[in-house]
Amino acid sequence: MPPTNPAVPIPQTGARQPRRTIKQILLSYFYWTYSRGSFHYDVMVTLILLFIFLTPHIPGFSYGDRPSSAAVLTHPIQVIGDGGHGVIITVLVSDANVPTGASYMVVKKALRKAIEPVTGDAEFIEKWETVTDPQGNLAWKVWAHR
């Protein structure tokens, strides 16, 4: 006869367990009440692994960790050091997409998006002004630092 543990009840061969409802099963999944190696434990782990590995491939479902789609620059951007204080970036007005009469925050956001392909997303924009480049094109001159 195999050794028995008095703390673990031995199931009766003739006794029937009452059927559990779907609600009870889902609640026990939510509270993770199943022991390792049981069928329901394996189902929960499988569902978690499916979620982890399949959700990145579902169109429109993103965790926000995808690389930003860098806009294609039609003109070169000039970046000059600002004597250890940061950088001065010159970008043409046509590449910045700033609406006419835009507010301070809208202009700052549009300029940040325009310089992001060159500087990355860790730049802080201090100030900006419009200038004319040597070819006579209207441009934004942006002072930024990390």
Q: Does some domain include residue 62?
A: no
Euclidean distance between CA atoms 122 and 144, whole angstroms = 10
Domain annotation covers residue 40: yes
Q: Tell whether the model's pLDDT for residue 73 goes beyond 80.
A: no
Arithmetic mean of pLDDT, 90-108 = 85
Q: Which amino acid is at 30?
A: F
Residue 94: the pLDDT is 82
Domain that holds residue 38: 22-57
**Shortest CA distance to 92 belongs to which of 46, 60, 139, 54?**
139
Which pLDDT does position 46 carry in this prediction?
A: 94
Residue 12 lies in a domain: no
Q: Do residues 50 and 86 both lie within one domain?
A: no
Task: With respect to residue 4, please indicate whether it lies within any of the assigned structural domains.
Answer: no
User: 85 and 133 in one domain?
Assistant: yes
pLDDT given at position 28: 87
pTM: 0.49
- Per the structure, how many domains does the chain have? 2
Question: Mind listing the pLDDT tens digit for each residue in 39-59?
Answer: 989 999 999 999 988 887 887
